[in-house]
Amino acid sequence: MPRPPSSALLPLILLLLPAATVPQGNGAQGDGIATLAPDSDTRWVPFDLTPGNQIRFTLTLDARPVTAILDTGVSHSVLARNSPAADPKRITDGGQATAIGGMVAIGWLPTDRLTLGGLTRRGGGVTVADLPALATGSARAVDMLVGRDITAGQALDIDYANHRFRLIPSGQLPYPGALAPLGISPGRRVYESAATVAGRRVAPLVVDTGDGAALTLSTPAWRATRSRDLPSTTTISFGLAGPVTSTLAILPVLRIGERTAHNVEVRVEPPGGFSETIGVAGRLGSGFLQNYRVLLDPSAGRMVLSPGPQADVPPLRSTSGLLVGLEPGKLKVLHVMRGSPAATDGWQGGETICRINDAPVPADYAGSTVADWSIAAPGTVTRLGLCDGSTRTLTARRFY
């Protein structure tokens, strides 16, 4: 499946729990006790990459197979309230947690045994919250978000090119690559690093595999880089607590440790956005990480980036300006990008499209070539049949 354009609707899953939420004390509480099998380096976990750039796989929780997303931006793993593994009788109230888009209600569920690749965790528990499908990058919801509490004690080796990852002992360096700093913040308890934009250091940056975007910056961090004169538009993303509208631009150069990347999409949150609220400069997401083989080893203080075949390929860009969500048999307009052809033609959020160039919207739209109309070459004219029976044409144009 090709990478989505920089303007695509992407999920942003970052959940910070109040310290009092997670039970503390002996190893049977909180994070539990995790051990690695002697052959953990051979126990690869296969995954598929969702339309929103997220790592989706299966693990075993209390003898049940559950679908999950690997999410280093979550301070403590989350189980969906409607998952078969979430026993309502054992869930206790956990108050609220800070998520992208606002606050979400959470609970706490103790667990006995979790198995993921070569890792086994005994004891501990999971946070319980609503996990809507839209916030996890697919029309299909998952049962769980696997966060820092499960992965951070080991090195996490993500082989995006071959759709597999593994957990191995910290300190190993299984392949060469560019080094970058990495740690777990004591207060936020998530993976964090730093970057350089326009010669200015941007830190801390949450390294967030659950965020479908490449780079997201807070308004103060963006202003500090003095990159505001770049051509820009707007886009929308979805967090656990709702939608977020951001400014979108393409950075000519981004430096992460020893690695220099070119033409990287950047999303700028509105003033007072999530990153600013929790005291970080922004997030480095899977839209960037998927271009590399990535080793995340916070105990060793490092991230390793080994370029893959897509590392220097410019991001796809919308030439239509319509950001749509897939519904049965139709597309719903969720956002009209500023300065786009769609904005010029007067498109509005909430309108629905049932036909594209006189063909119906297929069930597999997100992964099909039918969706390429939104990134067509400038000058391409697309016939869009609205569900009310009217038809409009849209002429593609580069606008950011």
Q: Which residue has the tokens 């609970």?
A: 107
Residue type, 304: V
Higher pLDDT, 50 or 240: 50
Q: Give pLDDT tens digits for 302-326.
A: 999 999 988 989 999 999 999 998 8
Residue 151: CA count within 13 A, CB half-sphere: 32
The per-residue pLDDT for 252 is: 95
The per-residue pLDDT for 352 is: 98
- pLDDT band at residue 25, thresholds of 50, 70 and 90? very low
Distances (CA, A) of 18 to 22, 91, 250, 392: 8, 17, 34, 49
Query: Mean pLDDT throughout 124-150?
Result: 86
Residues 6+ apart with CB under 8 A from 274: 12, 14, 98, 99, 100, 101, 239, 244
> Is the per-residue pLDDT at 292 higher than 80?
yes
- pLDDT band at residue 111, thresholds of 50, 70 and 90? very high
Q: Which residue has the tokens 């990535």?
A: 294
Distances (CA, A) of 201 to 254, 267, 295, 356: 10, 17, 22, 45
Q: Which residue has the tokens 């528990």?
A: 125
Query: Mean pLDDT throughout 180-199?
Result: 95
Q: Provide the 10 A C-beta neighbour count for residue 3.
A: 16
**Phi then psi dihedrals of residue 123, to 5 deg:** 80, -165
**String of DSSP letters for 120-173:** EEES-EEEEE---GGGGTSSS--SEEE-HHHHTTSEEEEEGGGTEEEEE-TT--
- Domains (range + CATH), the chain: 10-168 (2.40.70.10), 178-307 (2.40.70.10), 322-395 (2.30.42.10)
Q: Give pLDDT tens digits for 58-100.
A: 999 999 999 999 999 999 999 999 999 999 999 999 888 877 6
Start-end of H helices in the chain = 148-151, 219-225, 274-278, 286-289, 341-344
> Is the per-residue pLDDT at 274 higher than 80?
yes
State whether the Cα torsion 296-298-300-303 is positive or negative.
Answer: positive
- pLDDT band at residue 22, thresholds of 50, 70 and 90? low
Query: Mean pLDDT throughout 216-224?
Result: 96
- pLDDT band at residue 10, thresholds of 50, 70 and 90? low
pTM value? 0.88
Residues of the chain above pLDDT 90, percent? 76
Higher pLDDT, 172 or 25: 172
- φ/ψ region of 350 (left if φ > 0, alpha if ψ in -120 to 50, else beta) reads left
15-19, 246-250, 265-269, range with the lowest pLDDT: 15-19
Structure tokens at 52: 């929103």
Residue 74, SS3?
strand
The per-residue pLDDT for 282 is: 96
Q: How many helices and strands in the chain, by DSSP H and E?
A: 5, 33
> Is the per-residue pLDDT at 338 higher than 50?
yes
The per-residue pLDDT for 27 is: 38
Mean pLDDT of all residues belonging to the chain: 90
Query: Mean pLDDT throughout 231-246?
Result: 84
Distances (CA, A) of 32 to 303, 319, 356, 362: 25, 49, 51, 45
> Is the per-residue pLDDT at 110 higher than 50?
yes
Angle made by CA atoms 66, 145, 313, in degrees to the nearest 5: 110
Evaluate whether 271 touches 246 at the Cβ level (below 8 Å): no
